[in-house]
Structure 1
Amino acid sequence: MNRVRIKVGVLVALLLVALAACAAPPPAPTSAPVIQTVTVKETVTVKETVAVPQTVAVPQTVAVPQTVVVQPTPPPARNTLVVALARAPSSIDPADHSSREAETVIRNMYDGLVTRDSTSSTHMEIAESLKWLDDKTLEIKVRKGVKFHDGSELKADDVVFTFNRVFNTNAIEFPQPHTSLRKGFLGPFKSAEKKDDSTVVMNFTAAWPPAIQLLVHTQIVSKAYLDKVGTKGLIEKPLGTGPFKFVSAKTGLEEIVLDRFDDYYGGAPDLKPVGKACVSRAVFRVIPENSTRVAALLAGEVDIITEVPAELVTTLQKVPGVQVKTVAGTRPIWMEMNVKQAPFDDPKVRQALNYAVDKDLIVKKVYNGLAKPLAGPLMPTNNFADPALKPYAYDKAKALAMLKDAGWAPDASGVLMKGGKPLTFVIDTIDSVRPIAEAVSAMFREIGVDASVRVWEYNVVRPKLLAGERQAYVGDWGDSAFDPVGHMEAKWYSYTAGSTYGRGNFSGYSNATVDQLIKSGETENDPAKRRTTYNQAQKLIYDEAPAVFLVLPEAIEAAAARVQNWAPASDSRENLHDVCLK
């Protein structure tokens, strides 16, 4: 019997209807229970958690409720592309965001000095060329003829201003003065100087090996426009140089509408086709629930959906009018444990829970093989991941023995107890990775640990996690830097409020030696020495286990058949410039 609990319910019902609609007329549907997904919003107080049962029987056939019927009618003729995102962007200010959803929206309104293609290779965009004058000095030649959406031409002054706005302390003045969340991508940046209208020199205090690839994450803003409207004005009406210009946004960024910029310079010259965008309008719509996103695609309400549940890939591929694509993922999933609170202040407990999770079963049952087990703090596809580290082996006996050493012993019913209290905690999560949280919870239950699951919207729970107000969190964090910098300084460096270091550290983990190694590795130009430094840091994190290292899923997206020239990107930054609709 499978230990992993997989919800089908509405999702399977919808897919069965879509498939049946293309075959012989189905018999009259009968009613069936529908599993409801509840997302906790900021104004909702969660009063109780739902225990995850050890096993759930999945019936071979699913009755389709009468109220859920997807008609296979084609969408209306239009040249508007609608993309459903799993989460709302954290911001649409290029210098003040911390999510891939934000990067996706921003990268379609703003261009940077460099960009990536769908395979994550780096290409010149606004930069005509980049040249290292020495290991601390980078010369940038700015492409001529690049226009902002108000018709003004981008100059070297705008590039210098952008770097200063990202790097300088409290350079962002709204809603209160604070430092950019993107500062870490500039590393040991010292200054930027204008040599002429098309030449900028970046100065660093130390070598910065990932500099060029990390420039992908800095989009250029207009100095004149910011001087005029300020940060508040930029957020209310963004002004960039990208293929689409801002039209409107709903409260909370739940929907963002962009129109094609017809004076677009064309984008990266070596990424064909060069020119203005294919579609006239692009809409980003936030649909947090997996089931609702899939239903919206099947109903023709949206054209592209992100974060498709892996268990639905095979079935979705059989639905006429739907195309499914996968690409190597860059969003590892961990269960981070609050190391400052019991029971996770004991490393033996943290290590034991790593041994209690069958990652291979999660890969097989939850992801249908479309994932890899994690072996530590870096994803296995990162070139600097230490090959000597292997995933914690699934070993229930060892997990129980370690918990016994930590003072936890089973009572007559098998529940682990210590000092008369059970080993129990809440796993907070977000809807897109909820199946993983539920699978992990079920596995913990097998060894006598009561871990219930609670679902939140990410932008609501993130500040609670950073404040140390949660016990455990199952979530993902993208390594879009394609360098150890991406995860090591964001997830495993000690967090201090206001710092970009540790901005994704939801466990409260802090180790001065690890911090020093991360800092040293960032600026080490010798690849061999850099690898050795990062290996030392990885081993310490692996042994201290501030997280249960779970899996790295492939990125899965789906689109309507009318969507052309579309390919999901490893870094999840949806580039809509080339996408067309037939």
Structure 2
Amino acid sequence: MKRRDFTKLLASGAALSAVRLFGDGVAYAQGSNGGLTAIIQPEPPLLNLALNQQTPTGVVGGKMYESLLTYDFELNPQPQLAKSWTVSEDGLTYTFTLQDDVKWHDGAPFSAADVVFSCDVFLREVHPRARTTFERCESIEAPDPQTVVFTLKSPFAPFLLAFESSSAPIVPAHIYEGTDFRNNPANDTPIGTGPFKFVEWVRGSHIHLTANEDYYMPGQPGLSEIYYQIIPDAASRSVAMETGQAQVAQWGDIETFDVQRLAAMPELELTTKGYEFFSPVMWYDINLRREPFNDVRFRKAMMHLIDRDFVVDRIMFGLARPAIGPIASTTKFHDPNVTTYPYDVDAAIALLDDMGLTPDANGIRTTINFLVSPYGEVWTRTAEYFRQTMQSAGIEVNLVSTDVAGWGTSVGNWDYDVTTNMLYQFGDPALGVARTYISSNIRKGVLFSNTEGYENPKVDDLFARAAISTSEDERQQLYSEVQKILTDEVPVLWLTEQHYPTLYASGLQNLITGATGVNGNFGEARWG
């Protein structure tokens, strides 16, 4: 659809209708015709979920790409492309029966061969999390077009949590088999099985999806189309929600200081549900390959210079809690009995003195570069806070700006000193936590892997044993031990556990239906 054709009637739950215009003069859909306009910020670098797992890609891509399962608020697996599944008594064989009559967006039939290709070939090559998951498989086979059998080399406790849409997106074998996956032309026009199909992407303006008329779930989707409007300016995003120009804002779209004001408006609803699967932890990511970060005393000094309560209160405005280690308090196996680093400038200075990092005539002990994450005002303020608080001990920080693609390339290729990062827990430490710290996941060019370059054979062993244990008590013991080691060695500077808000129009129903929230497929969403 061309931009001149965007004009749609708008309505809320009532029969009234109007036209909402953005600054570019384009009207976007919402109302009785079932259309929805949502904010997306920053603009995704690409939309293929298998090739990119950054948050904006997950939000938009999750409407087009699906995996075998989704999850309720208690992280129990629910059907998606798989309608049922069984697990053998020895925990080694997982058999999935697929949904009937599923088609790819180009009309080609979906089958078990697509699942085998995706999990055994495509994702092993390009996906940092899926690679470690499916390398645990002895075989992935399709005995018939409706059945996929995963046979594991050894038990893997969280295996059923590995099939969320961004963790194991299923891609069409008929499009990708035998091609250069990263440079396939289809990456620009995504083809999935989800309830919404790709229409167009006008860079810097919007991404347009339309309802999949052949979607396999009866009565879905409940929306006729979705426009993801790209709005770089924070104030303009708030205005869009205030005026009804947009009806959904998620993750960090609305700056933390503005959330409660908008939530008080009768036309808007606020929820923090729908982030349970991710339980995101934010930290300062440091490149351990470089001096002085390779000295644990320097890392501990930086930890002592960070006032996490200040960050929660003055930057996150209460939409977070202080993080003390690698496993979030909202997920299983968190242990509060670890080494902590209270805000203490004197303790930091003592550690720096012990290193021999003495101040020069200007009071500067060392100078480091901070790569600012381009995800909005909160991220910018978090970087500015880091610069300010490090100055109190004589650490000079230069802030370096970039765009989303540049940030991902620099961090993935280890071309940075310090940056802010945030990774999801994905329901289990074996899926969302271990990847940051195990040495086998030091993979240059792969974002959200062990980019800091941390290596400890004991940590590798503990994570490996915890992943295959079938005893919850034993897993807790192993994860408690690994948390104590990591908080002693400080491979990253843990900052906050994020509690993200979703703001949405009051007439919108069934938007958040499970633990993946706005990254879900919106199949059940509709205007009421």
Which TM class, normalised by the smaller chain length? 0.7 to 0.9
Question: 2:48 is matched by which residue type in structure 1?
Answer: D
User: How far off is 1:138 after superposition?
Assistant: 1.0
Matched, 1:291 2:240: no
Question: 1:539 is matched by which residue type in structure 2?
Answer: K
User: Percent identity of the aligned residues?
Assistant: 23
Rounded Cα–Cα distance in structure 1 between residues aligned with 2:51 and 2:289:
29
Structure number with greater Rg is: 1
Question: 2:196 is matched by which residue type in structure 1?
Answer: F
Contiguous gaps of at least 5 residues in structure 1 = 1-68, 170-177, 267-273
Rounded Cα–Cα distance in structure 2 between residues aligned with 1:209 and 1:552:
24
Matched, 1:408 2:357: yes
Contact 2:371-2:402 at 8 Å conserved across structures: no
- Per the alignment, residue 3 of structure 2 pairs with none
The count of corresponding residues between Structure 1 and Structure 2 is: 489
Question: SS at 2:473's partner residue?
Answer: helix
Question: 1:278 is matched by which residue type in structure 2?
Answer: G
Contact 1:466-1:505 at 8 Å conserved across structures: no
- Per the alignment, residue 71 of structure 2 pairs with 116
User: How far off is 1:430 after superposition?
Assistant: 2.7
- Per the alignment, residue 436 of structure 1 pairs with 382
Question: SS at 2:431's partner residue?
Answer: helix
Rounded Cα–Cα distance in structure 2 between residues aligned with 1:249 and 1:76:
19
- Per the alignment, residue 101 of structure 2 pairs with 145
Matched, 1:236 2:180: no
Question: 2:453 is matched by which residue type in structure 1?
Answer: G
- Per the alignment, residue 120 of structure 2 pairs with 164
**Selected match of 1:264 from 194, 205, 215:** 215
The within-5 A match list for 1:78-477 is 79-117=34-72, 120-133=75-88, 134-167=90-123, 169=125, 182-216=130-164, 217-226=167-176, 231=181, 232-251=184-203, 255-266=206-217, 275-306=219-250, 307=252, 308-327=254-273, 330-389=279-338, 391-410=340-359, 415-417=363-365, 422-432=366-376, 433-477=379-423
Rounded Cα–Cα distance in structure 2 between residues aligned with 1:368 and 1:379:
19
- Per the alignment, residue 5 of structure 2 pairs with none
Contact 1:288-1:431 at 8 Å conserved across structures: no
| C-alpha distance after superposition, 1:8-30 (max 9, x if no partner) | xxxxxxxxxxxxxxxxxxxxxxx
Contact 1:265-1:275 at 8 Å conserved across structures: no
Rounded Cα–Cα distance in structure 1 between residues aligned with 2:315 and 2:118:
43
Rounded Cα–Cα distance in structure 1 between residues aligned with 2:358 and 2:297:
14
Residues 212 and 518 of structure 1: is their aligned pair in 2 closer, same or farther, counting only changes over 3 Å?
same
Residues 349 and 302 of structure 1: is their aligned pair in 2 closer, same or farther, counting only changes over 3 Å?
same
Question: SS at 1:84's partner residue?
Answer: strand
Rounded Cα–Cα distance in structure 2 between residues aligned with 1:283 and 1:466:
30
Question: 2:78 is matched by which residue type in structure 1?
Answer: H
- Per the alignment, residue 493 of structure 1 pairs with 438
Normalization by structure 2: what TM-score?
A: 0.83
Residues 534 and 166 of structure 1: is their aligned pair in 2 closer, same or farther, counting only changes over 3 Å?
farther
User: How far off is 1:499 after superposition?
Assistant: 8.4
| C-alpha distance after superposition, 1:90-148 (max 9, x if no partner) | 44334322223223223211332111245644212221221112321111112223333
User: How far off is 1:204 after superposition?
Assistant: 1.3
Rounded Cα–Cα distance in structure 2 between residues aligned with 1:85 and 1:74:
14
Matched, 1:540 2:485: yes
- Per the alignment, residue 19 of structure 2 pairs with none
- Per the alignment, residue 175 of structure 1 pairs with none
Rounded Cα–Cα distance in structure 2 between residues aligned with 1:539 and 1:336:
19
RMSD: 3.1
User: How far off is 1:397 after superposition?
Assistant: 1.9
Rounded Cα–Cα distance in structure 1 between residues aligned with 2:445 and 2:93:
25
- Per the alignment, residue 55 of structure 1 pairs with none
Contact 2:94-2:150 at 8 Å conserved across structures: yes
User: How far off is 1:167 after superposition?
Assistant: 4.9
Contact 2:195-2:211 at 8 Å conserved across structures: yes
| C-alpha distance after superposition, 1:256-275 (max 9, x if no partner) | 22111122121xxxxxxx52
Question: 2:395 is matched by which residue type in structure 1?
Answer: V
Contact 1:427-1:451 at 8 Å conserved across structures: no
Rounded Cα–Cα distance in structure 1 between residues aligned with 2:507 and 2:354:
59
Rounded Cα–Cα distance in structure 2 between residues aligned with 1:184 and 1:88:
28
Contact 1:289-1:431 at 8 Å conserved across structures: no
Residues 553 and 76 of structure 1: is their aligned pair in 2 closer, same or farther, counting only changes over 3 Å?
closer
Contact 1:355-1:394 at 8 Å conserved across structures: yes
Question: SS at 1:525's partner residue?
Answer: coil
Question: SS at 1:434's partner residue?
Answer: helix
| C-alpha distance after superposition, 1:327-385 (max 9, x if no partner) | 35622111122222222122111101111111112112222222111111222212122
Question: 1:350 is matched by which residue type in structure 2?
Answer: R
Rounded Cα–Cα distance in structure 1 between residues aligned with 2:405 and 2:483:
28
Rounded Cα–Cα distance in structure 2 between residues aligned with 1:388 and 1:546:
18
Contact 2:28-2:37 at 8 Å conserved across structures: no
Contact 1:95-1:165 at 8 Å conserved across structures: no
Question: SS at 2:193's partner residue?
Answer: coil
Rounded Cα–Cα distance in structure 1 between residues aligned with 2:514 and 2:43:
19
